[in-house]
Amino acid sequence: MSRIAYVNGRYLPFADAKVHVEDRGYQFADAVYEVCEVRAGRLIDERRHLERLKRSLGEMSMTMPMSQAALSVVLREVVARNRIGYGLVYLQISRGVARRDPAFPPQTPPTVVATARPLNLARNEALAQKGIAVVGVPDNRWGRVDIKTVGLLPNVLARQAALDRGARDAWFVDKEGKVTEAASANAWIVTPAGALVTRHADHAILRGITRTVTLDVVKAQGLTLQERGFTLAEAYAAREAFETSATQIVMPVISIDGHRIGDGKPGRIAIALRREFHHFAEAT
């Protein structure tokens, strides 16, 4: 079955799904995006993702290209046309096509693209049962990573550096030596005393939707929470570590820079949060 993409009002086979060479997303990374998990054909936490999208657009002086309800129809349609049971849907909105000039172009319609693809549920579950290795890398990103832009070069390089070092993901470390987040996920540890720690959300991390929902699970379970930065040294000595993102949900981390975390197996709390997550997320 050929994949279908939505491009500016049309549902097109992949081969015909194209954006202009002077699209500002392509030229300047002047674009924002969202990724939603799809489970049993339903979008997970769509409302929160669309609200974050609206915020990202607002931060770059753009408005939603259509109503939230209309965008929602597009996303569902892309999921349905690609027959996604378990997978993800991707939505990108750029400032549109214009002669190359950094200043905002006057009255240019945005470019709206949506795609979807299946993910392998069994493979993801197997990975979560095993846990992943991560490495620390310097956080050399710009100061507004709370805006979900497609300007992801540092994230790309960090992820590749992790793979080159035999790990699966990278955790960014800021100039104060504190972990901010992972290359495309939020980072968490459980201290030896049993407190959950994840960095406070400001301009230096993306406020992950999975992070937000996980915080609800943490509160419901009466676990102790500290929203603050933590060092790699603290992470090496943690009882557990994990990361959260829409496509991984709660992914246990069993090694950081080659240091075994806890007993080197996915932690009890990470497993419990992963199991509970979808009872707290919204499925539409």
Count of all residues that appear for the chain in the document: 284
Question: Is residue 281 a contact residue for ligand PLP (CB under 6 A)?
Answer: no
Question: Is residue 184 a contact residue for ligand PLP (CB under 6 A)?
Answer: yes
| Span between the terminal Cα atoms of the chain, in Å | 25
* Segment interacting with ligand PLP (CB under 6 A) among 12-20, 67-75, 202-210, 228-236: 202-210
Q: 2 vs 41, 87, 191, 238, CA distance in Å?
A: 18, 16, 48, 46
Least CB distance to ligand PLP at residue 137 (A):
13
| Nearest-angstrom CA–CA distance, 54 and 153 | 23
Least CB distance to ligand PLP at residue 205 (A):
6
Contact 9, 17 (CB under 8 A): no
* Segment interacting with ligand PLP (CB under 6 A) among 101-109, 160-168, 221-229, 240-248: 240-248
Give whichever of 96 and 151 is closer to ligand PLP, judged by the CB atom.
151
φ/ψ of residue 135, rounded to 5:
-130, 150
Least CB distance to ligand PLP at residue 144 (A):
12
Give whichever of 8 and 212 is closer to ligand PLP, judged by the CB atom.
212
Least CB distance to ligand PLP at residue 246 (A):
3
Report the run of H or E that residue 51 belongs to, with start and end.
Answer: helix 46-59
> Cβ neighbours of residue 131 under 8 Å, at least 6 residues apart?
251, 252, 253, 254, 255, 265, 266
Least CB distance to ligand PLP at residue 253 (A):
14
Question: Is residue 255 a contact residue for ligand PLP (CB under 6 A)?
Answer: no
Question: Is residue 137 a contact residue for ligand PLP (CB under 6 A)?
Answer: no
Measured over the CA atoms of residue 128, residue 131, residue 137 and residue 138, the dihedral's sign is: positive
Of 54, 130, 148, 175, the active-site residue reads 148
Give whichever of 74 and 251 is closer to ligand PLP, judged by the CB atom.
251
Residue 130 DSSP SS3: helix
DSSP state of 149: B
Question: Is residue 115 a contact residue for ligand PLP (CB under 6 A)?
Answer: no
Give whichever of 111 and 245 is closer to ligand PLP, judged by the CB atom.
245
Contact 63, 108 (CB under 8 A): no
Question: Is residue 149 a contact residue for ligand PLP (CB under 6 A)?
Answer: no
Question: Is residue 43 a contact residue for ligand PLP (CB under 6 A)?
Answer: no
φ/ψ of residue 145, rounded to 5:
-75, 0
Q: 228 vs 187, 209, 237, 250, CA distance in Å?
A: 11, 18, 16, 19
Q: How many residues bind ligand PLP (CB under 6 A)?
A: 13
The answer to whether residue 265 is catalytic is no
Instruction: Name residues contacting ligand PLP, limited to 11-40 (CB under 6 A).
Output: 35
Question: Is residue 91 a contact residue for ligand PLP (CB under 6 A)?
Answer: no
Q: Which residues are known catalytic residues?
A: 148
- Please give the residue ranges that form the binding site for ligand PLP (CB under 6 A): 35, 181, 184-186, 206, 208-211, 244-246
